[in-house]
Amino acid sequence: MYERFEKQVEGAPVRRRDDTPVPAPQRRRYALVAVAVLATLTLSGCSEAVQRGFLPKGATTGAERVTNLWVAGWISALAVGVLVWGLTIWCIVAYRRKKDDVGLPPQLRYNVPIEIVYTVLPIMMVGVLFYYTARDEAVLLDTSKKPDVTVNVVGKRWSWDFNYLDHNVYESGTQVTLTGKDTDRDTAPTMYLPVNQRVEFVLTARDVIHSFWVPAFQQKLDMIPGKVNKFQVVTTTKGEFDGKCAELCGSYHASMLFKVKVVEEAEYLQHMQDSMARLEDNQVTIEPKVGK
């Protein structure tokens, strides 16, 4: 900085620019890389994963809403990004120091219009993001509609209990032993849900804070001891989905896995009946011992 001023005072050129042109083969290589990047972006634009913004495929109506908010958020962020990068590059190129420039360029400060623009614009952008987030959150956490099925999910160190409140069926899960094999999940407790129905999850915890998370539902909610949290989903896709605890809850948090099976209503009711029969059988074998 000081050196530059000294040179200016002496009237010597401030800075020499290297004007050596880029050799042709190198230019061609740059062009090829640019074409490859563009082609990859264009082709990948067709893939479903990109259209979902790399979120897992949704299995509920709420998941569609979350995916839309996510993708729209990224598109607006990209639009703002492109504008900012464009203006930055334009400034760098158009206002770069020329060979015959001397001294400093005109210094701007206390420019009220510019300061108002860069204060008001970001506030407006945050306002728009806030509006859509609040709108979707209100729908996702709305529990005013009557559910077709209600499941009380209890988080415990380190597994899950599923209490099907409409059928008086309860299932108590045990912790998964992790060995690194694909079969680990086979022992995870499984929650059954009917497809195309409104399901309410009533979330409670027995010991510490857990979090109920089915990535395919694209929604998760904390399970807090002494508090009842609820949310509803409308299932849209049959299949088996992974579930896990999303709140670090202790040594075996990673083993706190479960599965969700979304099936036809008939299969769901059959599972309820089988479970009821199993529970009744258990009581028959237990009761005489208790009586003695």
Which residues lie below 8 Å from residue 166, measured CB to CB, with a gap of 6+? 149, 150
Q: How far is the CB of 215 from Cu ion (least distance, A)?
A: 15
Distance CA 240, CA 183 (A): 14
User: Which of 193/249 has CB closer to Cu ion?
Assistant: 249
User: Which of 140/245 has CB closer to Cu ion?
Assistant: 245
Residue type, 25: P
Note whether 256 binds Cu ion by CB under 5 A.
yes
Name the residue among 79, 83, 73, 37 with its Cα closest to residue 52.
73
Q: How far is the CB of 249 from Cu ion (least distance, A)?
A: 3
Q: Among 176, 193, 202, 249, which residue sits at the site for Cu ion (rule: CB under 5 A)?
A: 249
Distance CA 157, CA 178 (A): 15
User: Which of 202/257 has CB closer to Cu ion?
Assistant: 257
User: Which of 203/263 has CB closer to Cu ion?
Assistant: 203
Q: How far is the CB of 256 from Cu ion (least distance, A)?
A: 4
User: Which of 52/210 has CB closer to Cu ion?
Assistant: 210
> Residue-wise over 61-79: b if at least 16 C-beta within 10 A, else e?
bbbebbbebbbeeeeeeee
User: Which of 63/205 has CB closer to Cu ion?
Assistant: 205
Q: How far is the CB of 227 from Cu ion (least distance, A)?
A: 15
Piece in contact with Cu ion (CB under 5 A), picked from 7-15, 56-64, 122-130, 249-257: 249-257
Tell me, by CB under 5 A, how many residues bind Cu ion: 4
Question: Please, are residues 147 and 232 in contact by the beta-carbon 8 Å criterion?
Answer: yes
For residues 208 to 247, the per-residue mask of contacts with Cu ion, x marking binding by CB under 5 A and - elsewhere, is: --x----------------------------------x--
Q: What is the largest CA-CA distance in the chain?
A: 110
Distance CA 234, CA 194 (A): 10
Distance CA 201, CA 161 (A): 12
Piece in contact with Cu ion (CB under 5 A), picked from 90-98, 187-195, 250-258, 267-275: 250-258
Q: Which backbone phi and psi does 181 adopt, to 5 degrees?
A: -90, 160
For residues 174 to 213, the per-residue mask of contacts with Cu ion, x marking binding by CB under 5 A and - elsewhere, is: ------------------------------------x---
Note whether 156 binds Cu ion by CB under 5 A.
no
Note whether 69 binds Cu ion by CB under 5 A.
no
User: Which of 207/287 has CB closer to Cu ion?
Assistant: 207
Q: How far is the CB of 179 from Cu ion (least distance, A)?
A: 20
Name the residue among 96, 93, 67 with its Cα closest to residue 218.
67
User: Which of 192/258 has CB closer to Cu ion?
Assistant: 258
Which residues here bind Cu ion, judged by CB under 5 A?
210, 245, 249, 256
